Structure 1
Amino acid sequence: MSVISNLTASHTAVTFAERKLKFNLMNRANLKIPRPYQNGAFSVSKLAVGQSSRAAKYPSVRMALVDERLARGRGTADPSGVLAYELVQGALVKWSSMMDKSVPEPPTAILLHGILGSRKNWGTFARRLAQAFPTWQFLLVDLRCHGDSASMKKRQPHTVASTALDVLKLVGKLRITPRVLVGHSFGGKVALSIVEQAAKPLARPVRVWVLDATPGKVRAGGDGEDHPSVLISYLSKLPKEVSSKREVVNALLGEGFSKDVAQWVVTNLRSTSPLGSPSSSFSWVFDLEGIAEMYQSYEETNLWKFVENLPQGVHVNFLKAERSLHRWALGDLQRIHAAEELAADGGGGVEMHVLEDAGHWVHADNPDGLFRILSSSFQGF
């Protein structure tokens, strides 16, 4: 398995043969090399070889960070507009976007996080999928205003549709045609919008998984932590730099948010303290104003028409968490079941699933159950 990270500074094209030679030399030396660094006018992503903490959980897999440069030139836009991403590849995948176009790409799945999340939310789960399905690769992205994509140049408005278009642009640059799209919460609507907006048809069949979200109205539950707009508003009042994660957790608990939500939110804090400094400091890695717009768009975006008129070969799977914080209205469930019949007649597909013993954060609450349900999408390739 390998993890491919994009570089957002200026890039220089390097031939596949050069990279292969570099890999062989490093692999022979069994070196552990630091994180990517700046070298002159371009970023260099060095190859880390050896056992990592993540690889230790999957002993049959060696984790590597592979140099992946998006060259300037015809058909490539300014790299500053590219989403931050990781490409988690199964052990049998021998493909890179830098390769000749004649080399067939492996089947690809895209995993999308929700509001106030990041691609790291999917890291462990993606590596598990890659180990179970070694011919597949899994694209994890930081959506606009989130994680490492928060600093990229982005055009307003910050909507579900514009977020989906960002992902489509990245897919185009990487020359990937996804067969499966998995989106959690806000990411679920983004996944639907990707298929709806695709300038040319995606792979057929293409399977879309919408995890604990509906195509239309967002119905928050009764608990305070289940109102992301309230959470976003409260976070906007906090300092941009704090001395500890604990003080933020305590502040959120004091406002009535749950411990799970408080601990999840502080994963968006990154240390800004100089190495060896006796004091600590952390800053937020998201663009909260943009995220507020994105959440408003999530509430307002209605994709029922698309779900009820699916193109041939598109299969949409809705998954409801048994203990979902969102209120799944009876009307929503009935409409999904009605869409199942409409899609079957039109050559598409709609299915409804329920994940037992899970709250809204399905991939954290019941990863085993989610793995079993999603696995059917990766078989037969």
Structure 2
Amino acid sequence: MAAAARAPPPPRALSAEPRRGSPAAVGVSAPWPGARVRAARHREENFRSHCMLTSSNLNSRPLLCPPCNCAQMALADTRISYQPDVEKHTGVLAYELVQGNLVQWNSFMDKSIPDPPTAVLLHGILGSRKNWGSFAKRLAQEFPMWQFLLVDLRCHGDSASVKKRGPHNVASTALDVLKLVVQLRLTPRVLVGHSFGGKVALSMVEQAAKPLARPVRVWILDATPGKVRAGGDGEDHPAELIEFLRRMPTQVSSKQEVVDALVKGQFSVDVAQWVATNLRRSNPVGQQSSSSFSWTFDLNGISEMYKSYEDTNLWRIVENVPRGVHINFLKAERSLHRWALEDLQRIHTAEELAADEGGGVEMHVLEDAGHWVHADNPDGLFRILSSTFRIETTIRGIQD
């Protein structure tokens, strides 16, 4: 894929720890002791990509987001700054770049400094980049030479206001992310996708040899390459939830109104409270009277995306893994209905084939976890994923 004609300067980033000698910067409190997050200094040029994260509020606290209970950073004064000529940036998504404190972006001025290794973290349907916030900061603290790109996929979060042409499907969503990493001049070495995001990661590998590195390691968290088996064991079915939300008013008077409506509609309290975190106050800051809330996502687009998630079959990339690609599947122990015996047998067969062809396929099981793996057992997930960053660090000869 060709890069954009006018490539932007290095992206603005959030660092897991302040670097020595850097001026004090405004940040947010981190979800574990001793960690601090700050906004990096402005670059000499204005960042020409569509979305740029700025943050303030020293006393922000993590918010728990059911049912995944991920620690979402509450950026009270966060703004997404948009360039007025948005049609020139149709491939760009809202994002955060979480950097370890040893990451240097001087490679743009001094080519003798290698680009920092990058991992891309992708959320699932009705999620956002915030689902990965605290987990990414934990990774950045453990692996300070790495940086982690957190993306709001099309129709989700702050990317919902970026007008995208249809179809809204797995392939177009993957292409969005590929365009973003080109514009940010990043070369991802690790892709991590949860649920829908897992298929997006697989589609990225299928669509483009570049800008993906070789080797590249892909993690698909609690999703299979083919048939989607959701809504079993009494769980809320995503398609039914999306359609219910589409029938609700586009603006509501309070988040509790949405929670009450969902519970009355026989959805679980956890899911109802989680969905309500996707509401944003409609009135400008400071105008609290007659407040109303509206969705941060495009429900019509998300409905198409979920249908594509059910229909998309990517077994071909798993059963014919390109050289230099290592695909890891992670099955949540308690997510039984999402996995059929035929899926597990097919992945096991792919493991043997990939080993013979110079690629890799591997199956992992996360104990004591349901579908929301990064909330149900974050410590276990961290231990499993950490092996990838240690391996990649050794391959590149980086000393953490």
- State the alpha-carbon separation in 1 of the partners of residues 359 and 260 from structure 2: 48
Partner residue, 1:353: 364
- Percent identity among equivalent residues? 71
SS at match of 2:338: coil
- State the alpha-carbon separation in 2 of the partners of residues 154 and 266 from structure 1: 24
Instruction: Map Cα deviations across residues 214-241 of structure 1 (whole Å, 9 max, x no partner).
Output: 0000012435643111111000011111
Q: Is the 8 A contact 1:211 1:319 kept in 2?
A: yes
Partner residue, 1:84: 94
Residue of 341, 345, 365 corresponding to 1:330: 341
Partner residue, 2:38: 63
Task: Tell me, yes or no, if structure 1 residue 53 matches structure 2 residue 63.
Answer: no
Deviates more, 1:130-139 or 1:103-112: 103-112
Deviating 4+ runs (over 4 angstroms): 11-16, 96-102
- State the alpha-carbon separation in 1 of the partners of residues 388 and 324 from structure 2: 13
SS at match of 1:277: coil
Partner residue, 1:171: 181
Task: Give the letter aligned to residue 256 of structure 1.
Answer: Q
Instruction: Map Cα deviations across residues 120-158 of structure 1 (whole Å, 9 max, x no partner).
Output: 110010000000000000000000011111111211111
Task: Give the letter aligned to residue 148 of structure 2.
Answer: F
Residue of 360, 384, 390 corresponding to 1:379: 390
Deviates more, 1:58-67 or 1:291-300: 58-67
Q: CA deviation at 1:203?
A: 1.5
Partner residue, 1:319: 330
SS at match of 2:188: coil
Task: Tell me, yes or no, if structure 1 residue 210 matches structure 2 residue 220.
Answer: yes
- State the alpha-carbon separation in 1 of the partners of residues 310 and 249 from structure 2: 27
The 1:58/1:176 distance shift into structure 2, 3 A limit, reads farther
Task: Give the letter aligned to residue 201 of structure 2.
Answer: A
Partner residue, 1:300: 311
- State the alpha-carbon separation in 2 of the partners of residues 237 and 123 from structure 1: 30
Deviates more, 1:76-85 or 1:116-125: 76-85
Instruction: Map Cα deviations across residues 96-129 of structure 1 (whole Å, 9 max, x no partner).
Output: 6864555421110000000010001100100000
Q: Is the 8 A contact 1:224 1:256 kept in 2?
A: no
Q: Is the 8 A contact 1:118 1:143 kept in 2?
A: yes
Q: CA deviation at 1:162?
A: 0.5
- State the alpha-carbon separation in 2 of the partners of residues 373 and 12 from structure 1: 35
Deviates more, 1:304-313 or 1:80-89: 80-89
SS at match of 1:204: coil
Q: Is the 8 A contact 1:61 1:91 kept in 2?
A: no
Deviates more, 1:94-103 or 1:244-253: 94-103
- State the alpha-carbon separation in 1 of the partners of residues 256 and 212 from structure 2: 44
Q: How does 1:1-381 map to 2 (within 5 A)?
A: 30=24, 49-50=25-26, 52-54=28-30, 57-67=32-42, 69-71=46-48, 78-95=88-105, 99=109, 103-200=113-210, 202-223=212-233, 225-274=235-284, 275-324=286-335, 326-380=337-391, 381=393
Q: CA deviation at 1:300?
A: 0.6
Q: Is the 8 A contact 1:271 1:282 kept in 2?
A: yes
Partner residue, 1:41: none
The 1:290/1:15 distance shift into structure 2, 3 A limit, reads closer
The 1:280/1:225 distance shift into structure 2, 3 A limit, reads farther
Task: Give the letter aligned to residue 34 of structure 2.
Answer: P
- TM-score (normalizing by structure 1): 0.83
Count residues with an aligned counterpart.
Answer: 341
Instruction: Map Cα deviations across residues 189-220 of structure 1 (whole Å, 9 max, x no partner).
Output: 00000011114372222100000100000012
- TM-score (normalizing by structure 2): 0.79
The 1:62/1:301 distance shift into structure 2, 3 A limit, reads closer
Q: Which runs of 5+ in 2 are unaligned?
A: 1-5, 12-17, 50-85, 394-400
Task: Give the letter aligned to residue 155 of structure 1.
Answer: R
Instruction: Map Cα deviations across residues 323-348 of structure 1 (whole Å, 9 max, x no partner).
Output: 21743111001101111111111111
Task: Give the letter aligned to residue 239 of structure 1.
Answer: P
- State the alpha-carbon separation in 2 of the partners of residues 124 and 214 from structure 1: 25
Q: Is the 8 A contact 1:111 1:138 kept in 2?
A: yes
- State the alpha-carbon separation in 1 of the partners of residues 203 and 9 from structure 2: 34
Partner residue, 2:56: none
- State the alpha-carbon separation in 2 of the partners of residues 15 and 198 from structure 1: 22
